[in-house]
Amino acid sequence: MNLRILISTPREGGPNYVRAVEQAGGAAVPSFCPQADPSGYDGLVLCGGGDLEDQYAGGANPAPAGVDGDRDRAELALIPAFLETGRPILGICRGHQLLNLVLGGTLILDLPPAGLALHTRPAGRDRLHPVRAAADSFAVRLYGGVSQVNSAHHQAVDRLAPGLRAVQWSEDGVLEALEHASAPVWGVQWHPERLDGSGGTAEGGLLFRAFLDLCGKWKHV
């Protein structure tokens, strides 16, 4: 099955995401600031990356990092276009947060010191920590009730948007995964493209393969 997956990348590209989609069996189409036209694609992956501009994030960011207004505007148009057609979306880190914003939720613009100590990425290395998953969710089906994931962020989902369900949390209460109640939309705060299951961590490839299965079901509806 030749599933074409649009990968909305940061300006510098997203080779890890491309590799993950291709290893899962999809045809990856990476693009910075893609047009808000889902035709020709079977799903959308929203990569991690920098913070949103204050005007989109809902407040003044006390510690802005990697802000790119061009990317913000492109993805804020891209998400509704895919939602309108029912095509599956997977949001990762920034993408997970952006899905919540577009659907009407809010963000924690900078985690408190204890949260920063657990979730930021010192010296370019991901932090690893356990998460727990909700029953009857994609997270528990893929990884069980408790799994080990990575963190590299200073912002997080705050108030959840209508229609979204929280399905995974870190030990300090940060929302680590969400899913839509009726649309094929998943988000994870962690980085599956950097996890191969070694050292007891979650295998990121499971998530990408499950997402491609979701895209295949949409294609054959």
* Catalytic annotation, residues: 93, 191, 193
Give CA angle at 157 (43, 90), nearest 5°. Answer: 10
Calculate the CA dihedral of residues 136, 19, 129, 67 and round it to 10 degrees: -100
CA distances from 217 to 59, 121, 188 (A): 38, 36, 21
Return the closest-CA partner of residue 70 out of 10, 5, 156.
10
Distance between CA atoms of residues 210 and 92, nearest Å = 14
Give CA angle at 56 (151, 124), nearest 5°. Answer: 25
Return the closest-CA partner of residue 102 out of 163, 32, 147.
163
Return the closest-CA partner of residue 10 out of 36, 32, 43, 34.
32
Both structure tokens of 15: 């080779």
